[in-house]
Amino acid sequence: MSTQPVDQRVGRDEVHPLIKWMRNNRRVLTSAGFLFLMLIAFVIASPDVFTQFRTYRSVMIALPVSIFVVIPLVFVVTAGEIDLSFPAVVGMASYGFAAIVDAGGNPLLGIFAALAIGVVLGYLNGILVVHIGLSALVATLGMNFLLRGLINITVEGFSIAMPELRGTLVHSLMTDDPILGIPNQMLWATAFAILGLFLYNYHRFGIHVHCVGDHPGSAAEMGVNVARTRIMVFVFTGIGAALAGVFSVMINFVWWPTTGDGLLLPVLAGLFVGGTPTWGGIGTVLGGAFGVTIVSFIETGVIAAGLTGFFTQFFYGLIIIVSLIGQRFNGARVR
C-alpha cells in the first residue's frame, strides 16, 4: 500500500512488534522476571550454594510433581472454576499405581490405572459442579476430604514401599538423568508444560476455556459447549494429578497415605504468583510453571542463606504478596 488513510497515522499498528509482544505476554514475563530476580538475590546471598548445579538439580527432583498439577489448574481457574481436590486425587491415583506394582503388576499398567482414576475423579468433580450445580470451591474441598478419608479408611496408615521399581525400564525413563544430569522427570514436566501451552493458546479446548471463563453466557450464545468445557477442565486436572502422583511415587519408591497432601498451598500459591488471576478468562500456562518454580526455590534459598526453617513460611508469604503486587500492574481486576 502506498498511502495510509489519515486516521491510521496514530494507530496501535505503529507500536513496535516487540513492545506488542511484551504487552501481550506481560503476565508470564512478570513471573519469569520475578523468578530471575529471586535467583539473582539468592546467588548474591549465598554464592557458594547457588552457583552449584546440584542445588538446582535437587530442586528439579521434586518440582515436576507440582508442574504436572499446576498446568491443568491454570485451565481450571481460567474457566472460572477452582479445584481443591487435587491433593487427594494425587493420593488416590498414586495409590492405584502403588497397589498394582505392589501386587507384582507391570508399572505401565499401574500408570494406566492411575490415569483412569484421575479421569474418573476429575469427571466426578465436573458432574458435581456443572450438573449438580455445587460451588466448585466447596465441592472440591469436600472431595479432597472425602477421598483422603477413603484412603485412610482403606490403608489404615500403612504405606507401600516399592523397591522393585528400581531398575525397571519405566522407572529409568521417568526418573534417570542421562542428559547433563537433569532429572528425566523435569524433561517430562517441561514437555507437559509445552503441550499445555499449545492446548491453552492454540487448541479449541483452550480457547473455549478462555471464553467460558470470560463470560459463560456469551460463550453459550455463540455455540460453545459450556458444560462440556467446564467438565473437561476438571478431567484434565485429574489427569495432571494422576501423573503427579505416579512421578511422586517413582521418585520416592514409596507411596504414603499422605502422598499429595503437601501440594495444596504451594501449588495454589505458584498458580497465582505465576500470573493467572482469580477472576477467570485469562491466565498463563508458562507463568504457572514459573510460579511453582519460584515457590520451590524459596525454601532452598532461605536455608542456604543461613536462616532457619522457621523463616520459610514468612518468605512464602512475602514473595506471594510482592509478586501479586507486581502482577497487579498487568491490569486491574475485571470482576
User: Which residue stretch of 10-18, 30-38, 250-258, 319-327 sits at the interface with other proteins (rule: CB under 8 A)?
Assistant: 10-18
Amino acid at 289: A
Residues 61, 251: contact at Cβ < 8 Å?
A: yes
Q: Does residue number 249 form part of the binding site for other proteins (CB under 8 A)?
A: no
- 57 or 215, CB closer to other proteins? 215
Cβ-in-10-Å burial (0-12, 13-18, 19+) of 123 comes to: middle
> Rounded distance, CA 324 to CA 270, Å?
11
**Per-residue CA distances from 235 to 15, 195, 262 (Å):** 40, 16, 21
- 195 or 265, CB closer to other proteins? 195
Nearest distance from C-beta of residue 19 to other proteins, angstroms:
12
- 250 or 285, CB closer to other proteins? 285
- 131 or 203, CB closer to other proteins? 203
Among 56, 112, 123, 205, binds other proteins (CB under 8 A): 205
Q: Does residue number 191 form part of the binding site for other proteins (CB under 8 A)?
A: no
Q: Does residue number 7 form part of the binding site for other proteins (CB under 8 A)?
A: yes
Beta bridge mates, 161: 254
Nearest distance from C-beta of residue 327 to other proteins, angstroms:
15
Q: Does residue number 282 form part of the binding site for other proteins (CB under 8 A)?
A: yes
Please list every residue from 115 through 154 that binds other proteins, using CB under 8 A: none
Q: Does residue number 19 form part of the binding site for other proteins (CB under 8 A)?
A: no
Helix (H) or strand (E) holding 149: helix 136-155
Closest-CA residue to 95 (of 114, 122, 71): 114
**Per-residue CA distances from 273 to 23, 62, 162, 168 (Å):** 18, 19, 35, 37
- 321 or 334, CB closer to other proteins? 334
User: Which residue stretch of 143-151, 205-213, 267-275, 284-292 sits at the interface with other proteins (rule: CB under 8 A)?
Assistant: 205-213
Positive/negative CA dihedral, 328, 330, 331, 335? negative
- 4 or 152, CB closer to other proteins? 4
Alpha-carbon Rg for the chain in angstroms: 21
Q: How many CB atoms lie within 10 A of CB 151?
A: 22
Please list every residue from 58 through 87 that binds other proteins, using CB under 8 A: none
Q: Does residue number 22 form part of the binding site for other proteins (CB under 8 A)?
A: no
Q: Write out the DSSP string of 176-191.
A: --TTTT--HHHHHHHH
Nearest distance from C-beta of residue 8 to other proteins, angstroms:
4
Q: Does residue number 317 form part of the binding site for other proteins (CB under 8 A)?
A: no
Nearest distance from C-beta of residue 161 to other proteins, angstroms:
41
User: Which residue stretch of 35-43, 120-128, 218-226, 303-311 sits at the interface with other proteins (rule: CB under 8 A)?
Assistant: 218-226
> Rounded distance, CA 100 to CA 105, Å?
5
Among 20, 131, 166, 228, binds other proteins (CB under 8 A): 20
Angle (CA) 300-301-302 rounded to 5° is: 95
Among 99, 116, 207, 305, binds other proteins (CB under 8 A): 207
For the chain, the first-to-last Cα distance in angstroms comes to 42
Q: Write out the DSSP string of 105-119.
A: --HHHHHHHHHHHHH
Q: Does residue number 278 form part of the binding site for other proteins (CB under 8 A)?
A: no
Among 210, 240, 268, 300, binds other proteins (CB under 8 A): 210
> Rounded distance, CA 299 to CA 304, Å?
8
Write the DSSP symbol of residue 255.
E
Q: Given the rule CB under 8 A, which residues bind other proteins?
A: 5, 7-13, 20, 24, 198, 201-205, 207, 210-211, 214-215, 217-225, 281-282, 334
